Structure 1
Amino acid sequence: MAKYRLIALLISALPIAIASNIDPVHARDVSPCASIGHQGNVEKTAKDCVEPRGTKAALGEGQALGLPEGALKKLSVPEPITRVHRFAYRLLRPQNPSGETMILLHGSGGDETSLFKLASSVAPHATLFGVSGRVTQKGIKRWYARITATEFDQNDIRKEAQAFADFLKDRMAAEKLDLNRAVFIGYSNGANLIAAMALLDPNLIHRAVLLRAMPVLHAAPEVDLRRSRFLCVAGQKDKIYAPFAPALEELLRDRGANVDSLTIAAGHLLGKEDVQVVSEWLSAGSAVAARGRQQQ
């Protein structure tokens, strides 16, 4: 009985933890489209973006709630989920497109617009393609079902990765967008799916930014990722995800990927330093690509 009382106490404490542990500045930094309306060359359709309906939309995985370390891991009973049939998405084209597309995958509790502000800051001339996960678990939108904060349904990861890859290929072709020139940007739960997709379908993802990510596949396939480049950005104060970051980086490097890794003075939430490091990484990659085209 004591065990069940502890679980009930933890669950009832979640709203209090959410309200008391969010930095308002960082929450604004990751809110969808807070000032995107006329930023750069993004079309007026961006004004349709909405702010999060609650603080959870600015969060990634649950450790931002401030519970004692390891507490959420004890909630090992799978939570009920609902799943929609189609992926919701939002496509924003700039007035002067660069030819690149930013494919944006939100963290837990976000939606298809959650990374628009960050993406428009780091790549103002790119087409923004934000997609929302199909799974909702206890009212929180996710990319796949979770068991605990760091343990995930392995079958569901593979099922959703395949469904998203199929959707993405069809939608990119229909919109006449070049998947080979796309950059994937994922935050937390969305970044985890990107890494899993790269391992499950090695020809799909060539460049990706993984913000606050961890490895989620128990048996990662032995694939060739020599054509893929990743930027992994961990938060030094991120108590749950940061300890797993080196394992993900090693996993990708072992399969031949070019991996740049950074740990910044931050927690799980995103902020201005993330914008800076992602922007610099993308600029450096574009310069290398331009030199390569000139030499051909």
Structure 2
Amino acid sequence: MTEEIHAAFYPGKPNLVPVLMLHGTGGDESDLLPIATFLFPEHPKLGIRGRVKQNGSNRYFIRREDGTFDLDNLNQETDWLLTAIQQETKRYRLDADQLIVLGFSNGANIAAYAWLNRSTPFKTAVLLHPMMITPPVQSVDLTDFRAFATYGDVDSIVPEANFDQLMQQLTDAHATIESFKNHQSHRLTQTELMAAQTWIKKL
């Protein structure tokens, strides 16, 4: 694993809050740019690629063949990502505390995990098809944190009970959560993105 950070920055209006793009499995630092542009047209955008390579695909942390997660790797990579966020926001003169995370699947998972298990600079997130990896070890206070999270009822990767458990964990930690369930698989649809856009306009 290299220490090099693969990041991409797309300037926007400097008075608008920056968006952090965290890709799904097999994506890269610019993978979510079309979605970020749809949801946050004029905002500055920063993408950071996960540094784990698994079966040729970029990821933020290891998922074993049996579907379970390597929690040691997850903890290591969460720390790495939070350091990378600080480094890259500094490089591009972005306010890390103002960041809105846009995460899909693997990227949404690590963002939610970081909220429940670390101190994070970002307090607003659009979590597309996230899942609960493991319950938090200790209780955390997420007052002033807010997220929009989506789920598909024919998602073969995220069971509904798992998604509901994650929403409950975030709510129990006092985060303000709006969830959107739709008839879809583990893919993004126009319907959920329109719902996310409506939520963003209310921020």
TM-score by length of 1: 0.65
Structure 1 residues 231 and 242: CA distance shift in structure 2, 3 A: farther
| Aligned-partner Cα distance in 2 for 1:221–1:204 | 19
Structure 1 residues 122 and 240: CA distance shift in structure 2, 3 A: same
The answer as to whether partners of 1:202 and 1:223 remain within 8 angstroms in 2 is no
After TM superposition, which residue ranges in structure 1, 4 or more long, deviate above 3 angstroms? Answer: none
| Aligned-partner Cα distance in 1 for 2:148–2:66 | 23
Query: Structure 2: which 5+ runs fail to align?
Result: none
Bigger mean CA offset, 187-196 vs 167-176: 167-176
For 2:85, give the aligned amino acid: L
Residue 11 of structure 2 corresponds to 93
| Aligned-partner Cα distance in 2 for 1:116–1:202 | 26
Residue 114 of structure 1 corresponds to 31
1:157 equivalent to 2:74? Answer yes
Greater gyration radius = 1
| Aligned-partner Cα distance in 2 for 1:202–1:259 | 18
Q: Determine helix, strand or coil for the equivalent of 1:173.
A: helix
Residue 97 of structure 2 corresponds to 180
The answer as to whether partners of 1:235 and 1:268 remain within 8 angstroms in 2 is yes
Residue 165 of structure 2 corresponds to 247
For 2:199, give the aligned amino acid: W
The answer as to whether partners of 2:131 and 2:163 remain within 8 angstroms in 1 is yes
CA-to-partner distance for each residue in 1:9-39, whole Å, 9 max, x for gaps? xxxxxxxxxxxxxxxxxxxxxxxxxxxxxxx
Q: Determine helix, strand or coil for the equivalent of 1:273.
A: helix
2:191 is aligned, of 240, 251, 273, to 273
Query: Structure 1: which 5+ runs fail to align?
Result: 1-82, 286-296
Residue 210 of structure 1 corresponds to 127
Q: Note the aligned Cα RMSD (angstroms).
A: 1.5
For 1:278, give the aligned amino acid: A
| Aligned-partner Cα distance in 2 for 1:173–1:269 | 33
The answer as to whether partners of 2:98 and 2:122 remain within 8 angstroms in 1 is no
For 1:171, give the aligned amino acid: E
Q: After the TM superposition, which residues 71-150 of structure 1 pair with which residues of structure 2 at under 5 Å, given as runs? A: 83-94=1-12, 96-148=13-65, 150=67
Q: Determine helix, strand or coil for the equivalent of 2:202.
A: helix
Q: Compute the displacement of 1:182 (Å).
A: 1.2
Q: Compute the displacement of 1:98 (Å).
A: 4.0
For 1:103, give the aligned amino acid: L
| Aligned-partner Cα distance in 2 for 1:235–1:149 | 22
Q: Compute the displacement of 1:112 (Å).
A: 0.7
| Aligned-partner Cα distance in 2 for 1:281–1:218 | 27
TM-score by length of 2: 0.93
The answer as to whether partners of 1:234 and 1:242 remain within 8 angstroms in 2 is no
The answer as to whether partners of 2:101 and 2:122 remain within 8 angstroms in 1 is yes
| Aligned-partner Cα distance in 1 for 2:187–2:120 | 30
Structure 1 residues 280 and 242: CA distance shift in structure 2, 3 A: farther
Residue 88 of structure 2 corresponds to 171
For 2:71, give the aligned amino acid: Q
Structure 1 residues 92 and 240: CA distance shift in structure 2, 3 A: same
Q: Determine helix, strand or coil for the equivalent of 2:64.
A: strand
Q: Compute the displacement of 1:146 (Å).
A: 1.0
1:258 is aligned, of 162, 170, 176, to 176
Q: Compute the displacement of 1:203 (Å).
A: 4.1
| Aligned-partner Cα distance in 2 for 1:280–1:202 | 28
| Aligned-partner Cα distance in 2 for 1:204–1:141 | 24
Q: Compute the displacement of 1:231 (Å).
A: 0.9
Q: Determine helix, strand or coil for the equivalent of 1:100.
A: coil
Q: Compute the displacement of 1:274 (Å).
A: 2.6
| Aligned-partner Cα distance in 1 for 2:137–2:31 | 28
1:238 is aligned, of 129, 150, 155, to 155
